[in-house]
Amino acid sequence: MQTPSQAQVIAAGRHVLTAAASIVAFASVMHLISGDEAGKINDALSQIGAGVASIATGVGTLVTVLSGIWAAYTASTSHQVAAVGALATVPGSGVAGVITTQTPEGRALAASVPGPTVVQAGTSIAASIAVPNKT
């Protein structure tokens, strides 16, 4: 099931409030509550509706901001290299590991990804990763 959009939540909220206002109007017509009480209840329902709309707007904004932060995080070089390195643990993936350069940047990148699948060039582990599979 797909999560409802902000517009869908607000639309559903309007219908709930419409139903509640209809019940209040019916109770007023049947003299179960006074007209003054019905007015106060309708005012309260309007405030609740405005609050729900504000919350839905805030949640929508928060989701947008968090999505942007997640996208920036997963687009980082170290995260992408780690994702490819993780493929080395999947049988049949065709990835044996990731070998970085022997530069300060390459060493730092290899060090930023824990595990044996991302290594710097010139190491014995890199030599074993670079050996062609003879099957």
Average pLDDT, the chain: 85
Q: Are 114 and 85 in contact (CB under 8 A)?
A: no
In this structure, are 63 and 111 located in the same domain? no
Domain with 125, as residue range(s), is 77-130
Domain membership of residue 135 (yes or no) is: no
In this structure, are 28 and 12 located in the same domain? yes
In this structure, are 57 and 19 located in the same domain? yes
Q: Are 106 and 120 in contact (CB under 8 A)?
A: yes
Contacts of 89 (CB under 8 A, 6+ apart): 117
Q: Are 110 and 100 in contact (CB under 8 A)?
A: yes
pLDDT tens-place string over residues 41-92: 889 888 988 887 888 788 888 999 999 999 998 888 888 888 888 988 888 8
pLDDT-derived band at 105, boundaries 50, 70, 90: very high
pLDDT-derived band at 6, boundaries 50, 70, 90: confident
Q: How many structural domains is the chain composed of? A: 2
Does the pTM exceed 0.75? no
